[in-house]
Structure 1
Amino acid sequence: MRLARRSLLLAAPSAALLPSLATSPALAQAPVADPRLGERSAGKAEATPVIEYFSLTCSHCADFHNRTWPQVKSRLVETGKVRMIWRDFPLDQVALAAAAVARALPPERYEGFVSALFASQDRWAFARGADNIAEIAKIAALAGMSRAQVDAALADQALQRGILESRMKAQQEFNVSSTPTFVFNNRPSPGALSFERFAELAGVSAS
């Protein structure tokens, strides 16, 4: 299925993507202990936390994840200096669908799946005439997810609502308006970063 790429309006993100949910009183309520909406992160709990707000259809996010994230992971996360926390900020319906599938995976498969999506973004997100969902499902299959499970995630309005609520919270808490946006010590920094700049803003040694 090829999704219509409707951009998300910053003032009313849920209305732009899910009109039927936007009018529901439940939109203002927090999801009830849904583990799929829990923290997705990498690194030691005591390490310096860095939040990344990203959209899976954002080319700048893909550039960071393809070029810079491997260095951040090996030199800062795996060495115990930084704990990377990922939060969804979908920019359109295709990104929302991909985020829902990612969230439906077991937490230990999340980072690998997201990295695979960014590595193949041109194929599933932007290729002319591409069947977005079929391409996402192919990548999800490599992570052990069946097509039926993919379809279930895409049909789950509570899951999508939770993702959109996270997006609205980012706007309210850190005034996020673009992706990627990184938050270092409660200070947002928009735009893809080099490894050296990332380490500098995190306040950790790059060596």
Structure 2
Amino acid sequence: MTNETFAAALSRRALLAGSASTALGLTLAASMTSAQAQEKPESGGKVDMAEVLKPGPLPDMQLGKDDAPVTIVEYMSMTCPHCAAFHANTFDPIKEKYIDTGKVRFIVREFPFDPAATAAFMLARCNPSKPAELATADQYFPMISMLFKQQRAWAAPADGNVRNGLTQAVKIAGFSQESFNACLTNQKLLDDVNATMQRGAKDFGVNSTPTFIINGEKYAGDLSVEQMSAVIDALL
């Protein structure tokens, strides 16, 4: 084989290899796009985000910067196992990746389905040492995290006494029996928690928990880290 023939054969091989590589790359890209599409959850419809962010009956409990490019509003119930699963498995990685880095503002709103959830939200909203005052975000988020972790113990205790279960759960947060009782007999707080739920249902069509409103798009269910990341990444 002459040098010219060898060079020509080598060029053909390179061309064939390049074509195969390109085809493989396109296949991989298509596969990745398909996988990403599967990760992104189905939208439950659009909502006017400006209306969502208008002040409600209670001050919003927020983590993250006000000017973050993505805002997530979660409607949740404290007795909802899917909400507990989201906060156990998804919330912390999302917080580390997006909230702590200034990309996401995360807001929690109360949507209690039963009296036990309503009571838990009221306790989360109360300042343990001054129950007539509302808790700060620094008090609120650790409280709901603790209540979700202990959800089965207080929401479905063996003896059926949810009140006693809640009393024991919140003592570690600094509640005394007196402040516990004072918080749960605060009629205005009760009305505001219920009004928050009613606003979510009436104005934004929330009918299950958890429901997330992300930059005007609604998503329902216990989203995984991959699903929520797919939604957020598409908005950045």
Query: Does residue 94 of the first structure (1) align with residue 124 of the second (2)?
Result: no
Query: Does residue 45 of the first structure (1) align with residue 66 of the second (2)?
Result: yes
Question: Do the aligned partners of 1:50 and 1:202 also contact (CA within 8 Å) in 2?
Answer: no
Alpha-carbon deviation of 1:134?
2.4
Q: State the alpha-carbon separation in 2 of the partners of residues 42 and 142 from structure 1.
A: 23
Q: TM-score under structure 2 normalisation? A: 0.68
Q: State the alpha-carbon separation in 1 of the partners of residues 76 and 178 from structure 2.
A: 26
Alpha-carbon deviation of 1:74?
1.4
1:188 match: secondary structure = strand
Query: Does residue 80 of the first structure (1) align with residue 97 of the second (2)?
Result: no
2:182 match: secondary structure = helix
Q: Which amino acid aligns with 1:46?
A: D
Query: Does residue 69 of the first structure (1) align with residue 95 of the second (2)?
Result: no
The answer for the alignment partner of 1:125 in structure 2 is: 155
Task: String of CA shifts for 1:57-110, please: whole Å, max 9, x gaps.
Answer: 000000001111111111111111111100000010100011111111321111
Give the 4+ runs in structure 1 shifted more than 6 A. none
Query: Does residue 147 of the first structure (1) align with residue 147 of the second (2)?
Result: no
Query: Does residue 171 of the first structure (1) align with residue 201 of the second (2)?
Result: yes
Q: State the alpha-carbon separation in 1 of the partners of residues 95 and 121 from structure 2.
A: 21
2:91 match: secondary structure = helix
Alpha-carbon deviation of 1:205?
8.4
Q: State the alpha-carbon separation in 2 of the partners of residues 205 and 75 from structure 1.
A: 14
The answer for the alignment partner of 2:220 in structure 1 is: 190
CA spacing shift, 1:204–1:117, aligned 2, 3 Å: farther
Unaligned runs of 5+ in 2: 1-55, 128-134
Identity %: 34
Q: State the alpha-carbon separation in 2 of the partners of residues 203 and 173 from structure 1.
A: 27
Unaligned runs of 5+ in 1: 1-29, 32-36
The answer for the alignment partner of 1:161 in structure 2 is: 191
Q: Which amino acid aligns with 2:64?
A: G
1:189 match: secondary structure = strand
Alpha-carbon deviation of 1:150?
1.4
CA spacing shift, 1:205–1:166, aligned 2, 3 Å: closer
Q: State the alpha-carbon separation in 2 of the partners of residues 55 and 154 from structure 1.
A: 17
Q: State the alpha-carbon separation in 2 of the partners of residues 127 and 137 from structure 1.
A: 12
Aligned length: 172
Q: State the alpha-carbon separation in 2 of the partners of residues 91 and 127 from structure 1.
A: 18
Task: String of CA shifts for 1:151-171, please: whole Å, max 9, x gaps.
Answer: 111111111110111101001
Q: CA RMSD in A?
A: 1.8
Q: State the alpha-carbon separation in 1 of the partners of residues 197 and 141 from structure 2.
A: 19
CA spacing shift, 1:117–1:53, aligned 2, 3 Å: same
